[in-house]
Amino acid sequence: MLAGYSRIGDPQVEVRHAPGERGYAEDTLSAIREALPSVLSYFSYFGVEQGFPRIGAVLAPCRAEFDRLVHDLLRVNIERPSHPARIAQAQRMDMVVLSPSAYATESTFPFVPAHFRRLLHHELVHIGEEFLSPNIEAVPLWWSEGLAVHLSRQWAHEPAFARAAQTGIAAELLPSLSEIERSRRHANDWGWTWVWFVERTYGTATVREIVATCVNGDVLSLLPCARDALQRAWRQAVSTDLRDELAGQTGS
């Protein structure tokens, strides 16, 4: 399945790459090594540093190979050809990432080294979440994507991740929680604001507990407040405190 791919890494992180991709593979390995302590530290309450399995990353040199590896290696159903905005996929302890060498022709994104490093951090969060979750298949998209965007800090440094929230806050048009739950677009655009809110209101320990104990996907039922009251509090916090944080957002 990975015939022709070379391997670099160590007992904790392994990166596979195609011929001519060694430089990007070294950058990938460095970025994962850099982000991993942060992810493990966030979930340290559950002792994930002890015996955390080896992480594998494969750099796909083109869109067709990315799609093949996501389907055949990760066992994730994927449309073919996949959308140009789809550039990474994590499953269990592995991730497949479109190589930066293919961005110019096969991605909607320009290659920005800092953004690529945060993308890898994002995928590591998914791996850590799946490792801890008692039922990852039940976790709602808005929570899982929101957790990854929040912890990787993509929202704070990459305008594309915060644009919808900034626009909605400025126009006083915030979606309801039901809309975020029903819509993939809203889940991707607004899910991180809910994780930000839960952590800000109830603390990091509560976010960790949700990841490690939520069995049925009903994330908010684990919080000590009714749904309607939570939504009102979220709207207030987003419209004031998050608005101010986003005003100071950097684009690096």
- Domain membership of residue 189 (yes or no) is yes
Average pLDDT, the chain: 94
36 shares a domain with 15: yes
Q: Is the pLDDT of residue 47 over 70?
A: no
Q: Print the domain residue range for 104.
A: 6-132
pLDDT digits (tens, 9 = 90+) for 194-232: 999 999 999 999 999 999 999 999 999 999 999 999 999
Q: Is the pLDDT of residue 97 over 60?
A: yes
Give the contacts of 250 (CB within 8 A, at least 6 positions apart): 156, 157
72 shares a domain with 184: no
120 shares a domain with 71: yes
241 shares a domain with 182: yes
10 shares a domain with 112: yes
- Domain membership of residue 241 (yes or no) is yes
- Domain membership of residue 1 (yes or no) is no
Q: Is the pLDDT of residue 46 over 60?
A: no
What CATH number corresponds to the domain at position 41?
1.10.390.10
Angle at which helices 113-132 and 22-42 pack, to 10 degrees?
50
208 shares a domain with 119: no
What is the pTM assigned to this prediction? 0.95
- Domain membership of residue 25 (yes or no) is yes
pLDDT (average), residues 93-121: 97
Output the CA–CA distances (angstroms, integers) from residue 38 to 116, 118, 121, 156, 225, in the order listed: 17, 12, 9, 16, 29
Q: Is the pLDDT of residue 148 over 60?
A: yes
85 shares a domain with 42: yes
124 shares a domain with 77: yes
239 shares a domain with 141: yes
What pLDDT shows up at residue 48? 59
Q: If you ran DSSP here, which 8-state letter would residue 4 be given?
A: T
200 shares a domain with 122: no
Give percent above pLDDT 90 in the chain: 91
What total of structural domains would you count in the chain? Answer: 2
